[in-house]
Structure 1
């Protein structure tokens, strides 16, 4: 057993001071990711500072329509909150598709955002991993890559971010409130996580000792949804996930126009991937199957699949178009004639049943 010191902070400021003052210190909240890493020998912090009893555990609806979610709000409680379920269904759906009920009862909002981007090689201390030990190499590049990135990866790391909640927050254009030794700052959630570049060991832009204290949601768009495609019905990371929030100009029109929207993808990159190219194609455009596919193709034009995950390209396209159809009421494509290609791309073993998988 590796010894470590445990301290329970009295307030957020003292927690920040304790962690900032020790390079080997880390925050502990629900512990659902940190404790796993310690058990595996991946992490060995010298000091754990417990912030789970500092309050910051409320969901507040502010006067201007924003919602402030404390860092210690449990994932299960946030998913069950009636205001979140009614106004931000994409977030409730994402939370309920993540992990198991037992883990959601422990996992916190801040901890979910800060869980490590990882893959099976990161979890195995006997294999080289630039994320775990910078400069040792990336075992996944020439290894098993079914779950790995097709967008934004580098030669140093091809792992994908595991959070469902963070993908929904990216589609909601949320902001992360952070406390450091110099005071508070607010970061757009899309800028909070990093792509690997040549420093894959850094998952976020936080400085050592900075503490997430809250997440803020802007006023909700009228329609939103989350869909997760995975290998089994529960307790599995996404192969691909899609979060969309949008507003239509004329809900009653036969073919409404998309006034505004935000799209985020999970399971495809080192961070929740904001689909800006797809958004640009669809903003102000009629809600049609053709436009949905054109938007997906624009986003996936620079995808670089690896040896085992080429299926993620059609799977992402299909899942995105399905969510957009669901939210806009656009008609589904005509079934393909017998003996012809599937209308939404090839459907082999990896893709079969994609539309029924997930929540």
Structure 2
């Protein structure tokens, strides 16, 4: 009765096909941090994707699959010196930066790098913003580009990230327009600007296809105006959530239960599960609404619903799956709850806090994909 997750690797292959068809000509560099499960990486490597890595360990994992260093972008703007040295030794040349201090480190430890300037982006319309931590302002880019030139470094492009699970296409359009301005700055400083990195942010949960199509439409329109075909600019993207989120389904078991009678006679339930915040559900406290699970239980008739709180198994009171209560029928110890679309920032963020192991990963695939892998 341990928690487990089932991955349908055929869904992963179809997501890759969908992305490539939606944005033809845009090369994909899968975001390893989203889900670094061995079979996810193995399938994507076989399908020919590139990889967005954020650390030495992620680079080791990808290179260990036989992926060429040219198919890796080291897309962490703030890197440890030892990790920069590892990238230099193993031929990973494409690196991002967003500060003068980072340029000095790269000049000392990886002077042959091909640098990509990470631009600050308005990401308030994303569920998980990133701009507070990364990105150079448009006003700072001119100085950074001349500093790179003076240090003898080659800047080849510009990147941005609109935040994970973006909700509006205008975020991409505005960022792409700003990137065009940075390209002009870079060429003015003597750099051969040839790479545009759209980052990630593409939603991946079941039912998000209309939003994805709207984002793609906005991206295509912006690219047609700023970086049209024949401009000599290679365009890449770093999808993570779009690829991995629908691939995994999680199953968790109720290990304990409490019935609570509130003032006014209202009844509610508290359920304790064998997986929680320190396992597969770490990221979900930041989501605006709780995810409603599939209840694996037969009822003779339509059951009444009660407000419920879902806790994980550890001794930390913070270990709950969602901030808000859910409405569920009364359940019992031993019942199972199933959560679809659990492939993004779940297993890759799991810990063994309090001695509870991460969910077991199981993989399913068709014979055709087995042959590809």
TM-score, normalised with respect to structure 1 = 0.23
- Greater relative CO, 1 or 2 (CA 8 Å, sep 6+): 2
More strand by share: 2
